[in-house]
Chains A and B, each alone.
Chain A
Amino acid sequence: MEEAQRLLTVSVWKLYRGRFQRGGLRLHRSLQLSLLVRAARYRYLSARAAAETGTAPGPAAGTPPGTGPADPPFAPGPAVGTPPVTAPADPLFAPGPVMGTPPGTGPAAPPFAPGPAAGTPPVTAPAAPPFAPGPAAGTPPVTAPAAPPFAPGPVMGTPPGTGPATRTPPGTGPADPPFVPGLATRTPPVTAPAAPPFAPGPVMGTPPRTAPGPVMGTPPGTGPADPPFAPGPVMGTPPGTGPADPPFAPAPHRGDPPSPNRGHRPTPDRTDPPAPDAANRDPPSRYRDPPSAPRLPPLQDPRSAPGAPPPARAGRKRRSSGSGGPGAAPVPSKRARLEAEEPPLGPGPPGRCSGPPAAAFGLLVRAVGAC
């Protein structure tokens, strides 16, 4: 588990650094890193689940569920209860002290915690938190882009039909599939896992402090295949659960133009408590008691205000904090949300690892597991 934790940290850092090297992200390198991240993450979560439940991992623990044609990247680890297999003495990579906090201590577990013991039905995702900034006035909900795991930066690949590369006319050869993986000779018999490791646990944090989207991690069997490296939690409400998508352009208004005061949001009353400044980095300025936090005034339908500016067009690009559009509620930045969830811990021993402090490991696990 420690090795998996360490590898996961190092791998994510390598993926991150790869984006800044000359020539851009190397597909081969990022593929290898992603496969290892997936294996290490699964190993870590399996070991942690086994440690918490006190049971040995199932016989198919080496097979991450949801894996497509890819072979399981590693053999099942040692059963829980057996002494961990330590690597031979390696002066270049001394084990050192344990990174992070031992299980059962420290802050509460991250929201992406393994579910109950094997045999129990998976826990369904809880309902969306009541305080979800959701779409601001005039802005349609931001849906999760289909983040490719190996290209978190610019999209790679040319659309079909472009580029000078041409093929011989169709019909001259058999309809070959684009890629046939071939015999998966390394794939052991895949059996259903005893416990779904991706069953989400209790939602951590108070409702207004949680991500304004679906809970990290999806119940098994739903959603797309878990990408080994997702860019982060989804912002915005899931499609179909938020208010009706406003049209891009307001409906044409017939008749006299409205008065200047119509359609504007009423100015907040002095007696109303100020809106929470969730993006404020100063903790005392943020609300500590979310249940008593006031609700934002209801957003008006921009169709009733032809004079209002048209909503911003939805796109793949997520807006950073502070640019939510006119009249939008302040969206907490990703860093602010992550900081609010766990207090940062001190860094590990010097020279131990060139990656991020051990305290951020939990954040990395969640970030990698989010989809």
Chain B
Amino acid sequence: LAGFGELMQDVLWCFSQVKGTVDIGVTEADIISTVEFNHTGELLATGDKGGRVVIFQREQESKNQPHRRGEYNVYSTFQSHEPEFDYLKSLEIEEKINKIRWLPQQNAAYFLLSTNDKTVKLWKVSERDKRPEGYNLKDEDGRLRDPSMITVLRVPVLRPMDLMVEATPRRVFANAHTYHINSISVNSDYETYMSADDLRINLWNFEITNQSFNIVDIKPANMEELTEVITAAEFHPHHCNTFVYSSSKGTIRLCDMRTAALCDRHAKFFEEPEDPSNRSFFSEIISSISDVKFSHSGRYIMTRDYLTVKVWDLNMENRPIETYQVHDYLRSKLCSLYENDCIFDKFECVWNGSDSVIMTGSYNNFFRMFDRNTKRDVTLEASRENSKPRAILKPRKVCVGGKRRKDEISVDSLDFSKKILHTAWHPSENIIAVAATNNLYIFQDKVN
């Protein structure tokens, strides 16, 4: 496809669409909490803090406008999770959607997993464009007919109707997590998936909802000895026995389920020695890994902590092979960021389809891309001001000190309330989805 696999310097990103309202006051329920393309890129799902899932579908490309790729329009919207209350612990369970993961399509319907802090649900999204008519025992309104009044039998027929997309919960996986679920990952066997909370990882079968296998448990016997928690987990894209999970200490553990039923002992342990010169009060916090992703090839792991993105080779555990500074100018602002809670933000990271470019978010609605081959990087902004159709995004630059140029922005001028935590990259094309608070921006490369 045009634009796919090109180097960063040849790709010009253009604005495509923006979804969401432009209100000054942002309703917290509308804040997007997760974004995910499906395996073909045809569908784009978003989850928000209000527990809703909105699925966008890509339209067919128009022959009249060949320079425009198919746009994403709303395909289905449904309420996935509702707020609940744990009466035993007197705790409210948020309805916020933490993660969405698509299952590969095996028939006409689409399946996805969505999770909040405690419950995972399997949703079936299907289309209905026909309806049966001509029932014998009930009329067209659905009311039952008196059997004694039926004198003639007829065969019901299917007649076309307006397309209706319906989402139905097929499975509910509940009551298996004591702590807050932070990750779900579908296994490559497409029969199992795992859900990870702060201290445990459970393995589920899609067909069994009342039982799960605990495969990782790092809860100490004495909670006062707790030193780290699980922050993210993911299955290997090809090996159904392998998965990784990251910790709040900046470590990654790769586990093999063939070794033991309980994978508390890791097969590989990835950790980079800390630089003593950068030690501070906040070292522990900023070293916490917020996201971990396997590359599509399965050979590399990408991790995101507060200031950097690192790429690890599965064959080398002692240090990452690549480290990219996302916003190192914030290192001197950690105290302020701690006070306003920004230091606890959990940024995600994504690979492009060819594993040659990685992308992650930052503040002031900036997001960054790093080309692994050319080592070039670019900072772009998701803003309504650049929302003209096919408008080319101008690279942005943050001025650390000294004289500020006209098109640069000072560190002190960054808006820390505008942050891009969730991004997604089309599996095969240069189309990206960027969630900026309650707006979803879709950018694509300029078709030459």
What is the chain B residue whose CB lies nearest that of A181?
Answer: B227
B335 and A90 contact, CB distance less than 8 A:
yes
Q: Mark B276-309, 1 if CB is under 8 A from A, else 0.
A: 1001111111001000000000000000000000
Separation of A154 and B280 alpha carbons in the complex (Å): 32
- Contact pick for B178, options A70, A156, A168, A354, CB 8 Å: A156
- Chain A residue with Cβ nearest B343: A32
Do the beta carbons of B223 and A157 come within 8 Å of each other?
yes
Tell me, in angstroms, the Cα distance from A157 to B177 when the chains sit together. Answer: 9
Does A277 sit within 8 A of B, measured CB to CB? no
**A23-B92, A29-B344, A173-B262 given; A178·B180 CB < 8 A:** no
| Bitwise interface map of B from 253 to 288 toward A, beta carbon under 8 Å scored 1, else 0 | 000000111101110010101101001111111001
Q: Return B288 CB to nearest CB of chain A, in Å.
A: 7
Report B-chain residues with C-beta under 8 Å of the C-beta of A224. Answer: 224
Q: Are A168 and B213 in touch, CB under 8 angstroms?
A: yes
Q: Which of B90, B210, B412 contacts A91 (CB 8 A)?
A: B412
User: Which one of B129-137, B198-206, B439-447 contacts A?
Assistant: B198-206
Return chain B residues, CB-CB under 8 Å to A172: 260-261
CB <8 Å contact, A178 and B218:
yes
Give the complex CA separation of A163 and B212 in angstroms: 10
0 or 1 for each of B209-224: is its CB under 8 Å from A? (1 = yes): 0111110011111011
Evaluate whether A180 and B264 lie within 8 angstroms (CB atoms) in the complex, with A35-B284, A73-B283 already known: yes
Task: Name the residue in A91, A174, A353 with the highest tally of chain B Cβ atoms < 10 Å from its Cβ.
Answer: A174
| Secondary structure type dominating chain A contacts | loop
B91, B180, B229, B279: the one within 8 Å of A31 (CB) = B229
Q: Is B375 an interface residue (CB 8 A)?
A: no
Partner of A163, one of B178, B180, B199, B336: B178
**A10–B280 Cα gap in the complex (Å)?**
16
Identify A10's interface contact among B211, B284, B338, CB under 8 A: B338
One of A128-136, A182-190, A242-250, A328-336 contacting the partner: A182-190
Which residue of the partner chain, among B210, B271, B279, contacts A74 with CB atoms under 8 Å? Answer: B279
B231 part of interface (Cβ distance < 8 Å): yes
Let me know if B332 and A28 touch, CB within 8 A. no
Do B285 and A36 touch across chains, with their CB atoms under 8 A apart?
yes
B248 at the interface (CB under 8 A from A): yes
Chain A residues, Cβ within 8 Å of B341: 14
Nearest Cβ distance between residue A264 and chain B, in whole angstroms? 40
CB-defined contacts of A157 to chain B, threshold 8 Å: 178, 219, 223
A149 in contact with B224 given A29-B344, A73-B281, A186-B274 (CB within 8 Å)? yes
Asked whether, in the complex, the Cβ of B336 is within 8 Å of the Cβ of A92, the reply is yes
Query: In the complex, which of the residues A29, A174, A178 contacts B220, with contact meaning CB atoms closer than 8 Å?
Result: A178
* B223 in complex: contacting residue of A36, A87, A151, CB < 8 Å: A151
What band does the interface of chain A fall in when counting residues whose beta carbon is under 8 Å from B? 35 or more
Interface members, chain B 10-45 (any A CB < 8 Å): none
Question: In the complex the two chains form, is B178's CB within 8 Å of A7's CB?
Answer: no
Chain B residues whose CB sits within 8 angstroms of the CB of A174 once the complex forms: 260, 265
Give the size category of B's interface with A.
Answer: 35 or more
A68, CB-defined interface residue at 8 Å? yes
Interchain pairs with CB closer than 8 A, number: 175
Q: B164 contacts the other chain (Cβ, under 8 Å)?
A: no
B93 within 8 A of A: yes
Tell me the smallest distance from the CB of A144 to a CB of chain B, in Å.
13
Cα A32 to Cα B284 in complex, Å, equals 7
Contact B281 A40 (CB under 8 A): yes
Chain B residue numbers with a CB within 8 Å of A93 are: 333, 335-336, 339
A112 lies within 8 A of chain B by Cβ: no
Q: How far, in whole Å, are A128 and B279 apart by their CA atoms in the complex?
A: 42
B251 on the A face (CB < 8 A): yes
Query: Which residues from chain B contact A164 at a C-beta distance below 8 Å?
Result: 175-176, 210-212
- Decide yes or no whether A176 CB sits under 8 A from chain B: yes
Beyond A27-B198, A92-B336, A179-B264, is A156–B284 a contact (Cβ under 8 Å)?
no
Most chain B beta carbons < 10 A, residue from A22, A157, A173, A354: A22
A35 closest partner in B (C-beta): B284
* Cβ-neighbour of A7 out of B212, B271, B338 (below 8 A): B338
Name which residue of chain A comes closest to B332, CB basis.
A88
Q: Inside 8 A of B214's CB, which chain A residues have their CB?
A: 165-167
Which residue of the partner chain B has the closest CB to A179? B218
Chain A contacts for B200, CB-based, 8 A: 165
Tell me the minimal C-beta distance from B97 to chain A in angstroms: 13
> In the complex the two chains form, what is the Cα distance from A93 to B220 in whole Å?
37
Flag B162-200 by CB within 8 Å of A: 1 or 0 each: 000000000000011011100000000000000000111
Instruction: Answer whether A176 and B285 are a contact pair too, CB < 8 Å, given A70-B227, A151-B223, A156-B179.
Output: no
Contact A178 B260 (CB under 8 A): no
Indicate if B415 sits at the interface (CB-CB under 8 A): no
CA distance A166 to B175 in the complex (A): 12
Closest to A147 in B: B224
Q: In the docked arrangement, what's the CA distance between A268 and B226, Å? A: 52
Give the distance to chain A from B442, nearest Cβ to Cβ, in Å.
30
In the assembled complex, the Cα of A168 lies from the Cα of B263 at a distance in Å of 12
Say whether B403 faces chain A, with CB atoms less than 8 Å apart: no
Q: In whole angstroms, how far apart are the Cα atoms of A179 and B339 in the complex?
A: 32
Name the residue in B94, B210, B211, B339 with the highest tally of chain A Cβ atoms < 10 Å from its Cβ. Answer: B339
Let me know if A294 is at the binding interface, CB within 8 A. no
A349 interface residue (CB < 8 Å to B): no
A148 beta carbon closer than 8 Å to chain B: yes
Question: B315 CB to closest chain A CB, in angstroms?
Answer: 19
Asked, given contacts A73-B281, A154-B91, A176-B265, whether A87 binds B335 with beta carbons under 8 Å apart, the answer is: yes
Of A39, A69, A92, A177, the residue contacting B264 (CB under 8 A) is: A177
**Chain A contacts for B199, CB-based, 8 A:** 27
Q: Which of A148, A151, A172, A179 has the most CB of B within 10 A?
A: A179
User: When A23-B91, A24-B89, A157-B219 are in contact, do A39 and B261 touch as well, CB less than 8 Å?
Assistant: no
Please name the residue on chain B nearest to A70 by beta carbon: B227
A151–B248 Cα distance when bound, in Å, is 18
Give the CA-CA distance A75 to B274 in the complex, in Å. 12
In the bound complex, CA of A173 to CA of B273 (Å): 32
Known: A146-B224, A164-B210, A164-B211. 7 other contacts (CB 8 A): A29-B344, A69-B227, A73-B284, A93-B339, A154-B91, A165-B214, A181-B227
Can you name 15 A-B pairs with beta carbons within 8 Å? A3-B335, A7-B281, A7-B338, A32-B344, A43-B281, A69-B225, A74-B283, A156-B89, A164-B176, A173-B262, A180-B265, A181-B227, A182-B269, A185-B274, A227-B224
* Chain B residues within CB distance 8 Å of chain A: 89-94, 96, 117, 175-176, 178-180, 198-200, 202, 210-214, 217-221, 223-229, 231, 248, 251, 259-262, 264-266, 269, 271, 273-274, 276, 279-285, 288, 332-333, 335-336, 338-341, 344, 412
